[in-house]
Structure 1
Amino acid sequence: MSGTKLPLTIWFRAMHIMTSTKQGVSAIELGRRLGVSYPTAWYLAKRLRRAMTEREARYLLGGSGPDGAPVVVEADDVYLGGERNQGSGPGGKTRMIAATERYEGGRMGHVAMRTVVGFTSRAVRAFADTCLMPAVRVHTDGLKAFLAFGTPARSHVVTVSGSKRPSRQRTAPFHGLNTAIANLSTALKATHKAIAPQHTSDYLGAFCWTTNRRHNMFGMIPAACRAVATSSILTRRRAYAEIPVLLG
C-alpha cells in the first residue's frame, strides 16, 4: 500500500468485504459499498487478489495432517468458464489443475489451483513442482498426463470411480476436491459475468487463499494485511497490461 492515495480505511474496508463472503464480490459492488469509482474499486480488488495469490504460492500441499498422519493429495483436471461447446472440445474454456489435501476421515485440507496451457505431462510436472511437496502421495483419475505426478520420491495412485456423478459421502475418493471445484464454480458464476484470461490466476489464488483460511475467520484481516505488506508492487498500468499466466 506504499504510495497509495486512498485512505487506509478504504483498504481495510475492502479487505473486510472481500474476505467476509464465500462468493466474493464484483468490482461494481465493491465500489458501491466503498463509495469509490469503478476503476478504483477494480484496482483495489485486483491488488488484493494479487497479494493473496502471491502469499498462497508459498504453500506446498503435502506433509502431515493435524493428527500427524501423512496427507494424501487429490488432483483433477478442470475446464473453467467459456462458451457452450459446439461439437467436441472445450471451446473457449480455461484449463486448470486443482488439488486438495485429504486428511484421515476424508476431511479437506489446503487447496491449490493453477491455470495451464493444456493437460500435458509438462504442465503436470510444472504444477507438481510449484504446488506439491517432493515426497507426497498423489491420487488422480486415469488421465494419461497425470502419470507425470509420479517420481522416485512422489508416489502416484490412479483411482477410477466408474461414475460421472460424484459421491456425496465424505470418505469417497475426490469428495473434498469435487467440493472445492463446485464452490469455485458457484462463486464465479454468482458474482461475475466473465473473467478475462489474464486475470484468472488471481481469481483462483484469492479463492484458494480464503478457502485455506476458512477455519480462522477472525484472522482474515491481519492475514490480508500481511499478504499486502509482503507482496510485489502492482501499479494500475501494469495491472491493465498483464497477459495470462499459464503453467506448461
Structure 2
Amino acid sequence: MEDYPTTILELEDRFSFEKDCREYLFKLRWPEGFRCSRCSHEQYWQRTNGLFECKGCGFQVSVTAGTIFQDTKKPLRLWFRAVWHVTSQKYGANALGLQRVLGLGSYRTAWSWLHKLRRAMVRPGRDKLSGIVQVDESMFGGKRPGKRGRGASGKALVCIVAQVDGQRIGRIRLQVIPDASAESLEAAIMNTIEPGTVVQTDGWRGYNQLQKKGYAHEIVRSDYVIGDDLLPFCHRVASLLKRWLTGTHQGSVSHKHLGYYLDEFTFRFNRRTSRSRGKLFYRLIQQALMIDPVTNKSLVKKQEVEK
C-alpha cells in the first residue's frame, strides 16, 4: 500500500526525527520484510549503530547503503524536505532556490543534490512506449540555428518521442543523440519504443530502415501542405522543454548534464496529471533507493559547476 504525506504539515510532523526517516526508508526498501542481499536470509538483528545484521551470514547493511543517500553527511530529514521541494514545485527547482529553502551553506551542495535526485527520476527497467508515437529531433542550446542532420556548433540534438493518446500527449521519452544519422536515431528508438509500435516521422532519411527494425513506420510528410504542423505532439513537447529550460534554469544547462535535465522534465511531464504531490514524493524516494550511489566527484569531474 502506498504511504506518503499529502501536505507539507504532514511531512514536517511525520519526519521530524532521523528515526522516522529511516523507518520509512526501511519499509520502501524492503516492503516484504528484510532480505539479505548476500544470502537472502530474512532474519536480522538491528544494531545500536543503525545497521542491520543478517542472522544467516552476519553481513551488515544500513538502510541507505547502495542508494543515493549513501555516505551523506546531512540529516535524512533534510533530504526528505529536498525531495518534497523538488516534487512540489510545478515547474521544477533550481539549485539556488533549493539552497535558500533548506538553508544550505553551499550552492555546490544544493546543485549536487539536485543532480543526484535527477538520476533517481528514471525508474530502472521502465517500460518502453507503445501504441502510436511521434518521433522528431530538436536542437537545444547555442545562439545560431543549426542545419538538420548536420548539427551545429554549441548545440545539442535531442530525440523526442511522444505517445499519441487521442487528442492528448501521452507519455514521452527524451534522449540526447550525437547526430541525426540512422544509426543514432534507430538506437534511440529501440531504447525507448516497443517493437510493433506505429512510429510516425516526417520522412527524414534517418528513419528509412525502421520497418526492418520491427516498427510500423508512417511518414506524415507525404501529403502535407506547407505550413502544416506535421508532428504537433513532438513540437509541443520541444516548445515546453525549451521554455522550461529557459524559465526554471535560465538556460544555464551544460551539454554534459543535459540528459539528466531531460530526465527531470520527463518525470514531471509524465506525472503532470497526478493529483497528489505526495505521491510524487513517494515515487522519487522509492526510486532513489533503487539506484547506485552517485559521488560528488563524478558529478563535477572536468565540469565547472553551473551558475
TM-score for the superposition, normalised by structure 1: 0.84
Q: How far off its partner does 1:186 sit?
A: 0.8
- Quote the Cα distance in structure 1 between the aligned partners of 2:246 and 2:262: 13
Map residues 106-185 of structure 1 onto 2, 5 A cutoff: 106-151=167-212, 153-160=214-221, 161-164=224-227, 166=229, 174-185=231-242
Q: 1:185 to 1:87 in 2, by over 3 A?
A: closer
Q: 1:43 to 1:152 in 2, by over 3 A?
A: closer
- Quote the Cα distance in structure 2 between the aligned partners of 1:182 and 1:203: 15
Name the amino acid aligned to 2:136: D
Gapped regions of structure 2 (runs ≥ 5)? 1-68
Q: Secondary structure at the match of 1:198?
A: coil
- Quote the Cα distance in structure 1 between the aligned partners of 2:159 and 2:184: 9
The aligned residue for residue 170 of structure 1 is none
- 1:46 pairs with one of 115, 131, 135: 115
Q: Give the number of aligned pairs.
A: 227
Q: 1:22 to 1:142 in 2, by over 3 A?
A: farther
CA contact 1:78–1:97 (8 Å) conserved in 2: yes
Name the amino acid aligned to 2:231: F
Q: How far off its partner does 1:178 sit?
A: 2.1
Q: Secondary structure at the match of 1:10?
A: helix
1:80-101 Cα shifts (integer Å, max 9, x gaps): 1112349996331100100111
Gapped regions of structure 1 (runs ≥ 5)? 63-70, 167-172, 244-248
- Quote the Cα distance in structure 2 between the aligned partners of 1:143 and 1:94: 18
Q: Secondary structure at the match of 1:203?
A: helix
Name the amino acid aligned to 2:206: A
The aligned residue for residue 103 of structure 2 is 35
Map residues 197-236 of structure 1 onto 2, 5 A cutoff: 197-218=255-276, 219-236=279-296
Q: Secondary structure at the match of 2:71?
A: coil
Q: CA RMSD in A?
A: 2.2
The structure whose residues are more often helix, as a share, is 1
Deviates more, 1:122-131 or 1:154-163: 154-163
Q: Secondary structure at the match of 1:134?
A: coil
CA contact 1:56–1:208 (8 Å) conserved in 2: no
The aligned residue for residue 24 of structure 1 is 92
Decide which structure has the larger Cα Rg and report it.
2
Q: 1:42 to 1:152 in 2, by over 3 A?
A: closer
The aligned residue for residue 169 of structure 1 is none
- Quote the Cα distance in structure 1 between the aligned partners of 2:271 and 2:124: 11
1:4-36 Cα shifts (integer Å, max 9, x gaps): 111122212221222223432221111111111
Q: Secondary structure at the match of 1:113?
A: strand
- Quote the Cα distance in structure 2 between the aligned partners of 1:86 and 1:60: 30
Q: 1:17 to 1:165 in 2, by over 3 A?
A: farther
- Quote the Cα distance in structure 2 between the aligned partners of 1:27 and 1:225: 19
Name the amino acid aligned to 1:147: N
1:122-144 Cα shifts (integer Å, max 9, x gaps): 00111122101011010011211
Name the amino acid aligned to 2:83: M
- Quote the Cα distance in structure 2 between the aligned partners of 1:223 and 1:24: 16
| Greater length-normalized contact order (CA 8 Å, ≥ 6 residues apart) | 1
CA contact 2:202–2:231 (8 Å) conserved in 1: no
Name the amino acid aligned to 1:33: V
- Quote the Cα distance in structure 1 between the aligned partners of 2:272 and 2:205: 33
- 1:73 pairs with one of 122, 125, 133: 133
- 1:92 pairs with one of 144, 149, 154: 154
Q: Secondary structure at the match of 2:241?
A: helix
Q: 1:16 to 1:165 in 2, by over 3 A?
A: farther
- Quote the Cα distance in structure 2 between the aligned partners of 1:115 and 1:90: 14
Q: 1:156 to 1:28 in 2, by over 3 A?
A: same
